[in-house]
Amino acid sequence: MKLHQSVTQFNCGIDLHAKNMYLCVMDKEGKKLLHKNIETHDRECFLELLAPYRHDLTVACESTFNWYVVSDMCEDAGIPFVLGHAFYMKAIHQSKVKNDRADSETIASLLRGNLLPVGYVCRRQVRSVRDLFRRRAYLVRQRAALEAHLTEMGYLYDFKATSQDFKRRTGRFQAYARQLPDDFGVQMSAAADLRLIEALRVEILSIEKAVKRHAKGFDRELLDLLQTIPGAGAIISMGILYEADDFSRFADCGHFVSYCRLVTPLHESDGKVTGGGHRKSGNPYLKWMFSELNAACRRHSSELNAFAQRLVSRHGPRKASCMLTHKLGRAVFHIATERVPFNLEKFLGGPMKKR
């Protein structure tokens, strides 16, 4: 958790909602200079109210679903903007009195006292494509759920084969559905799944083609370096790049793998480990990308697959998978910061190499 260090004379906390936002401006001594509720998209009123303080002002709001609005207004006006990390802002969620006026005052107080936990403000020119990638991930999961339902229907009606027994992904589910019982309800359900799977396939391919065209101007050198990892194609590499955005914002490799949810945080007190917590603190999309990369590496590299099997024999499948994914996260950070291709020999070296 990072805390913002305010260096400005005035600090503005905003309790943001879809239609309205409540502004509270404080000076360094904690004196409230402004308390007002305005419409969220009223740019002129927003700038007019903050005009007396703009020369030395920082604005902060919680990372709600529409924080882009405030971020863009501040960027256009040249006002420093801080995004509050919603998960860590306990002072708001656990306060006894909770309303818009109190919440905006709490955010301003946290900002003034250097106690505001910050989230990452993605670059304006990147975030729309990043959001498109996130939408693709959602569509992929929906397609996988439909494919799983078709397979479950086979088990339900005692059809021993699975969809994996049919070659080629685009046609295997159609062939699989034809082998299901000739029953009205079963065939209608399978047909509905097939139509949705095909529609999702078309949309996913369309998004991938569009993103590939856009990525031509986005650090092509680093994109090529990431693809030197066995199994890391253009989609996985671009997904990691768009989610991480700027690797220089991570102090070291440990901070990066923690952000990717590739470590298990421990709670310790008085020399005793009391358990783990905050496993979901971090970027869930990067976690998913590295899980996909884990599986792809094992499919495309016999050396990496053998390495993974040795980990399984020593630590069990679940821990072995976490260890390999964590190692891949460290490798990606090294590639991105050192600007070097993936080195398989170095990756397999160390205490886990085959003796």
**211 shares a domain with 226:** no
Range of the domain at 167: 127-217
Does residue 117 sit within a domain?
Answer: no
**229 shares a domain with 211:** no
Residue after which a domain boundary falls, among 177, 201, 217: 217
Question: Cα–Cα distance between 9 and 13 in angstroms, integer?
Answer: 14
Does residue 122 sit within a domain?
Answer: no
Structure tokens belonging to residue 148: 């799983």
Structure tokens belonging to residue 210: 């569009």
Residue after which a domain boundary falls, among 112, 145, 172: 112
Residue-wise DSSP of 204-270:
HHHHHHHHHHHGGGS-HHHHHHHTTSTT--HHHHHHHHHHH--GGGSSSHHHHHHHTT-S--EEEET
**184 shares a domain with 238:** no
**269 shares a domain with 282:** yes
**256 shares a domain with 195:** no
Residue-wise DSSP of 276-342:
E--TT-S-HHHHHHHHHHHHHHHHH-HHHHHHHHHHHHHH-HHHHHHHHHHHHHHHHHHHHHHT---
Residue-wise DSSP of 111-171:
HHTT--BB-----HHHHHHHHHHHHHHHHHHHHHHHHHHHHHHHHHTT----GGGSSSHHH
Does residue 119 sit within a domain?
Answer: no
pLDDT tens string, the chain, 355 residues long: the values are 789 999 999 999 999 999 999 999 999 999 999 999 999 999 999 999 999 999 999 999 999 999 999 999 999 999 999 999 988 887 566 677 788 999 999 999 999 999 999 999 998 888 999 999 999 999 999 998 988 888 788 778 776 655 565 545 656 667 777 777 778 888 888 888 888 988 999 999 999 998 888 776 567 889 999 999 999 999 999 999 999 989 999 999 999 999 999 987 777 777 777 666 666 788 999 999 999 999 999 999 999 999 999 999 999 999 999 999 999 999 999 999 999 999 999 998 854 444 3
Does residue 120 sit within a domain?
Answer: no
pTM of structure: 0.85
**322 shares a domain with 231:** yes
**139 shares a domain with 82:** no
Query: In sequence order, what are the residues at sequence separation of 6 or more whose Cβ sits closer than 8 angstroms to the Cβ of residue 248?
Result: 337
Does residue 169 sit within a domain?
Answer: yes
If one counts the domains in the chain, the total is 3
Residue 38 backbone dihedrals phi, psi, to 5 degrees: -135, 170
Task: Give the residue among 203, 195, 156, 157 at the shortest CA–CA distance from 174.
Answer: 195
Structure tokens belonging to residue 35: 């308390």
Question: Cα–Cα distance between 68 and 66 in angstroms, integer?
Answer: 5
Q: Give the rounded distance of the alpha carbon of 322 from its chain centre.
A: 18
**CB distance 81 to 71 below 8 Å:** yes
Query: In sequence order, what are the residues at sequence separation of 6 or more whose Cβ sits closer than 8 angstroms to the Cβ of residue 107?
Result: 13, 14, 15, 24, 60, 61, 62, 84, 89, 92, 116
Does residue 94 sit within a domain?
Answer: yes
**CB distance 67 to 16 below 8 Å:** yes
**276 shares a domain with 204:** no
Does residue 355 sit within a domain?
Answer: no
Give the CATH number for residue 79.
3.30.420.10
**158 shares a domain with 100:** no
**263 shares a domain with 336:** yes
Task: Give the residue among 276, 308, 280 at the shortest CA–CA distance from 294.
Answer: 308
**CB distance 44 to 96 below 8 Å:** no
Does residue 353 sit within a domain?
Answer: no
**134 shares a domain with 95:** no
Residue after which a domain boundary falls, among 170, 187, 217: 217
**207 shares a domain with 259:** no
